[in-house]
Structure 1
Amino acid sequence: MSPTGAPSAARPAGRHQGLALLAALLGLFVALLDVTVVTVALPTIRTDLNASFSDMEWVANAYLLALAVFIVTAGRLGDLFGQRRIYTAGVVVFLVGSLVCGGAGKIEVPGLTHVTVLHLGRVVQGFGGAVIMPLSLAIVYSASEGKRRALGMMLWGAVGGVATALGPLVGGLLVAHAGWEWIFLLNLPIGLVVIFAALRGLGGKPLSTANVRAPLDVPGLVSVSAMLFCLNLAIIQGSSWGWTSGGALGLFAAAAALVAVFLVLESRSAAPIMNLGWFRRPSFGGSVVGGFLLGAGMFSVIFYISIYLQTGLGLSAQAAGVRLLPMTLMLILGAPLGSRLKAGLGARKALVAALALMAAGIALLTLADPAGGTGSWTRLLPGMLLTGLTLGIAMPLCSELTIASAPRDQVGVAASAGTMFRQVGNAVGIAIMGALLSGKTDSVHAAVARRAESGPLLPGDVRRLQQAAVTHGFQNSAWYAAAATLLAAALVAVLVRDPVPAPGQRPADGEHSQAGPAVQPPATDRPIDRPTV
């Protein structure tokens, strides 16, 4: 029996577990790669499609906004209708969007420009990615137990981090040698492998053991999706509209009102999307808040390291991607180390230690030299190595703590909740760091304008002032991210508890457990009395 009483037969047969894992990991790789790979190609796309800077911003934002809006719905659909059916459909949608994006420069649609076609393709990709990201985690978690599950979670964390870090390098290579279209078309052959593996490796039945399928909570899904749309659009557009503008404040107010509507609807629903009592469980609430701060801190830092290397030090996108490889390598090494730390210390202590060391690593990034040349990137190396290692440890631990707190027949929506909080945190972190960076660069532009009134400035002087401003802005952003990550460590230490095996279930060999198998979880972590389906 599973921890929640679901029969173990609900899992794929042993010979198919490898295919299930392959489907989840390859799907996650392409979905996350498309978040960062496109940033490198934007200047080339802008030239080829004769687009504006605003158009280019929405090439990235359209994907992220569609992903954020649909992510909770996707997780619930996977729980109700079966992971194989919904995951495969999500991959197909993602591939259709990739094909539209790759052909955007040639597709002729009456009344639409080529860049608008690209935007529509990115929206379709985002809907597919919203299915792939949370369900890949749910598949890894629910497909096995014990050592196999620990291995799967380790690989899931490693693949997610590697895809995020490799995006700029892969994008630079494809743009330079194949054309920007191939950053999208590359998804097609990989996606076909994912579909084959999913159809062969995943079970077709829903995880729920109920004889009657629960109804879909349409009002709850509509309200949470509308809330996510308003919140993410306000964060995305806040810097250009102005954070105190009517548009931004109106969207934030609408998001707050929709949160209230969602809470009322869920408290009265016979089949809620998720039982709100989950948030009273220290492990669930603490892990999703920790995930939010991880997104607001470390994941945002990865984005701005690339910005600093290109804008501050003048490196090409491809060269910046190469210099991120040490971080990627350490991330790969961190995933198995995290599994060992969990076995020896327990998930909570291992995660707290990883987050605390990650905060120290982010703080080391402030060693960036405001007057350094391209070779001064090595001053970032100690921080990059430590943050890469600790991210490999923390990412799978945080995700596993989130879904381990949910009933087994709702791991999809639990994974969606964790992913949603992390994505919103990432959007918030990028907005805050962008404000810190632009504050420094704007002051330099004003200083250059004032000095130009008294006489012309040499190009070298302007370049040095701009580099110093970008570096100081990056340093301020790193201090903010270190503080957010340290706060995450403190909250996890206070709120999270190690999952306790259910009666009759043994932990993985060597896995640390603070209580024997027959000990029930503390009252705050017990399953909620109210039935959820």
Structure 2
Amino acid sequence: MRIWGPLVAICLGTFMLLVDVTIVLVALPAMSDSLGASLSQLQWVADGYALAVAAALLGAGMLADLHGRRRMYVGGLVVFALASVACALAPDMPVLIGARVVQGLGAAAMFTTTLSLISTLYTGRRLGLAFGAWAAVAASASALGPVLGGLLTQALDWRWIFFVNVPVTALALALTFRHIPRSAPSKRDAARRLDVPGVLLFALGAGGCVYAVTEAHTQGWASAATLVPLGVAIAAFVAFVRVQHRRTHPLLDLSLFRRPAFGAAMITIAVGEGAVYGILPYTSLWLQSVRHLSPIGAGLVVLPHAVAAALVAVVCGRWMPTPSPRLGACLGLLLAGLGVGAEGFLGPESGWPALVGGLALSGVGMGLVFQVAASLALGSAPPERAGMASGTYSTFEQLGYAFGVAAFGTLAVSAMTASLDGKVTDASGTAGTLSGGGADTLLSTAPDDLRPGLDHTLREAFATGHNTLALTAGALCLAGAALVVWLTRRPRVAVARTGAGGHEDRGHDDLCHDGPMS
């Protein structure tokens, strides 16, 4: 257990926090029926959590470097468990969304330490195996979330998707105290201080962008409700970059992005997570509200994705511990793009089998993406920046998901509105209800003689919306793969230059190294 004990403790926390990203997806219709919710509120149940994780990760990573990674991991587990109880007991949607945000803060404290703990506890071949196990857990957790959510929602109640976190947290805490040693900050880290302005500016920028995109489908892109938060977010990001350039100990060392391998890792995980998992909420709504599958059935449809992702991540961890960004990341995004794009050919009469092949292929791609991106992120950063690199990787992962859910929600409403235009009286209002899982509600209010025709129209509109999302997601993955190819292209051999002080200038070589750096 000296080898496996720490890894099990870390992977338990990773599995739990990533399962909670997607476990709510199949429970959204049940939440809507129980508490009453609009599409925007349902989006925030998923996005509020992911956004809180992304906004807090960089600050949590710095705190972990300052006060110890085990301490931060334990604190995150405790906050996560308490917030999970609050989610389970929520009497209405605002309380549920607020509790999900707090839950995301606890998850950020856990997530930011997982990769850095692995990188400090394991070396050599064992490090590759540990990354493979972690990547398998990360890949399967996101896809198994709907399966577990379906089982708990159908067998018990949607509130149990949160109650179940408590015993898992207790086990993770026990293993952490037993197997993971305390870590003391280095002298360099001890001299640092938390970059409070950086934390606040980054959170404001991320939150403003996601809020603007989420609300755009109801308020309109040209409305003040969309443009004001978007403008504030852009200003916050600009100020964040300026602050980071001036600080001696920045929240995010922007020089890391000069390393092609590090930039490739961030692009790979953000694009893969946003494209593949960003459309899952709408796939789940289609399966349940249009095809009338049970929560368990909807979750099981996604199972081939989870199995494929986990198997590929394990194989990669064993046979490719130091992957090439060009081969691993590009191939992963390519397969993920082809898979998710294959889900974009639904018709009004299509059933769940039309999705299985694409889900399995995208699972193969995401198994590669998780393993390769995590290894590159940690391998391309210096050891003293392990916490920062881990936090940045996790931030891009969660921001990718948050932006994916928000942007695809707006695109879904737009595509469904266009499909319904001229076929129903209020195309925009009908599209908003339909995209939120309200197909049965719309049918129940229609006269009996018009229901068969309306049912076909709604199924056609939802299929059109889902196809638009899937094909767009596939195109994004392919564009991401092309960008990684360009970013990691092999440079021409640079001639070392000697400066006036007699020091050899190797800056170009350092910035253009095609592979992991340490």
Same fold (TM over 0.5): yes
Give the corresponding residue for 1:86: 72
The gaps in structure 2 that reach 5 residues or longer are: 428-446, 491-505, 514-518
Residue range with higher mean Cα deviation, 408-417 or 23-32: 408-417
- The equivalent position to 2:462 in structure 1, one of 470, 473, 492, is 470
Give the corresponding residue for 2:183: 205
Give the corresponding residue for 1:127: 105
- The equivalent position to 1:336 in structure 2, one of 305, 308, 314, is 314
Residue 17 (structure 1) shift = 4.2
Q: Residues 339-390 of structure 1: CA distance to partner in whole angstroms, max 9, x if unpaired?
A: 3663697343122222222222222223333323xxx322322212211112
Give the corresponding residue for 1:459: 451
Residue 38 of structure 1 contacts residue 60 of structure 1 at CA under 8 Å; is this kept in 2?
A: yes
Residue 405 (structure 1) shift = 1.8
Residues 1:344 and 1:418: Cα distance change in structure 2 (over 3 Å): closer
For 2:166, give the aligned amino acid: L
Give the corresponding residue for 1:21: 7
For 1:448, give the aligned amino acid: K
Give the corresponding residue for 1:62: 48
Residues 1:461 and 1:122: Cα distance change in structure 2 (over 3 Å): same
For 1:67, give the aligned amino acid: V
Residue 156 (structure 1) shift = 1.6
- Matching of residues 9-408 of structure 1 within 5 Å: 16-49=2-35, 56-105=42-91, 114-206=92-184, 208=186, 210=188, 212-339=190-317, 342=320, 346-372=324-350, 376-408=351-383
Residue 525 (structure 1) shift = 5.8
State the alpha-carbon separation in 2 of the partners of residues 474 and 335 from structure 1.
28
DSSP-derived class of the 1:272 partner: coil
Give the corresponding residue for 1:9: none
Give the corresponding residue for 1:523: 510
Give the corresponding residue for 1:6: none
State the alpha-carbon separation in 1 of the partners of residues 62 and 403 from structure 2.
25
DSSP-derived class of the 1:523 partner: helix
Residue 268 of structure 2 contacts residue 369 of structure 2 at CA under 8 Å; is this kept in 1?
A: no
State the alpha-carbon separation in 2 of the partners of residues 523 and 84 from structure 1.
32
Residue 338 of structure 1 contacts residue 393 of structure 1 at CA under 8 Å; is this kept in 2?
A: yes
Residues 1:146 and 1:303: Cα distance change in structure 2 (over 3 Å): farther
Residue 444 of structure 1 contacts residue 466 of structure 1 at CA under 8 Å; is this kept in 2?
A: no
For 2:104, give the aligned amino acid: G
Name the % identity.
31
Residue range with higher mean Cα deviation, 469-478 or 456-465: 456-465
Q: Residues 82-134 of structure 1: CA distance to partner in whole angstroms, max 9, x if unpaired?
A: 110111001101111012222334xxxxxxxx544433322221110111223
State the alpha-carbon separation in 1 of the partners of residues 38 and 400 from structure 2.
28
- The equivalent position to 2:402 in structure 1, one of 427, 430, 445, is 427
Residue 62 of structure 1 contacts residue 122 of structure 1 at CA under 8 Å; is this kept in 2?
A: yes
Residue 165 of structure 1 contacts residue 302 of structure 1 at CA under 8 Å; is this kept in 2?
A: no
State the alpha-carbon separation in 1 of the partners of residues 265 and 172 from structure 2.
29
Residues 1:44 and 1:275: Cα distance change in structure 2 (over 3 Å): closer
State the alpha-carbon separation in 2 of the partners of residues 385 and 308 from structure 1.
18
State the alpha-carbon separation in 1 of the partners of residues 111 and 489 from structure 2.
25
Give the corresponding residue for 1:442: 417
Residue 209 (structure 1) shift = 5.5
DSSP-derived class of the 2:423 partner: helix
DSSP-derived class of the 1:38 partner: coil
DSSP-derived class of the 2:292 partner: coil
For 1:177, give the aligned amino acid: A
Aligned pair count? Answer: 479
For 1:137, give the aligned amino acid: L
Q: CA RMSD in A?
A: 2.8
Residues 1:395 and 1:216: Cα distance change in structure 2 (over 3 Å): same
State the alpha-carbon separation in 2 of the partners of residues 285 and 30 from structure 1.
27
State the alpha-carbon separation in 2 of the partners of residues 294 and 266 from structure 1.
27
State the alpha-carbon separation in 1 of the partners of residues 475 and 426 from structure 2.
36
For 2:221, give the aligned amino acid: W
Residues 1:64 and 1:344: Cα distance change in structure 2 (over 3 Å): closer
Q: Residues 170-227 of structure 1: CA distance to partner in whole angstroms, max 9, x if unpaired?
A: 1222122222221111101100111122222223224535384322222222222222
Residue 331 of structure 1 contacts residue 391 of structure 1 at CA under 8 Å; is this kept in 2?
A: yes
Residues 1:44 and 1:245: Cα distance change in structure 2 (over 3 Å): same
DSSP-derived class of the 2:307 partner: helix
For 2:407, give the aligned amino acid: I
Residues 1:521 and 1:93: Cα distance change in structure 2 (over 3 Å): farther
For 2:226, give the aligned amino acid: A
Q: Residues 411-450 of structure 1: CA distance to partner in whole angstroms, max 9, x if unpaired?
A: 2221221222222222332333323322232234443326
Residue 162 (structure 1) shift = 1.6
State the alpha-carbon separation in 1 of the partners of residues 408 and 280 from structure 2.
11
Q: Residues 434-475 of structure 1: CA distance to partner in whole angstroms, max 9, x if unpaired?
A: 2332223223444332699xx985322211121122112222
DSSP-derived class of the 1:366 partner: coil
How high is the TM-score relative to the length of structure 1?
0.82
Q: Residues 125-161 of structure 1: CA distance to partner in whole angstroms, max 9, x if unpaired?
A: 1110111223222222332112211112112222122
Residues 1:212 and 1:139: Cα distance change in structure 2 (over 3 Å): closer
For 2:467, give the aligned amino acid: Q
DSSP-derived class of the 1:39 partner: coil
Q: Residues 15-46 of structure 1: CA distance to partner in whole angstroms, max 9, x if unpaired?
A: 54422211211111111111222233344344
Residue 62 (structure 1) shift = 3.2
For 1:402, give the aligned amino acid: A
Residue range with higher mean Cα deviation, 341-350 or 394-403: 341-350
Give the corresponding residue for 1:504: none
Residue 290 of structure 1 contacts residue 491 of structure 1 at CA under 8 Å; is this kept in 2?
A: no
Give the corresponding residue for 1:3: none
Residue 14 of structure 2 contacts residue 110 of structure 2 at CA under 8 Å; is this kept in 1?
A: yes
Residue 263 (structure 1) shift = 1.8
For 2:343, give the aligned amino acid: L
The gaps in structure 1 that reach 5 residues or longer are: 1-14, 106-113, 499-518, 527-533
State the alpha-carbon separation in 2 of the partners of residues 396 and 143 from structure 1.
18
Residue 21 of structure 1 contacts residue 139 of structure 1 at CA under 8 Å; is this kept in 2?
A: no
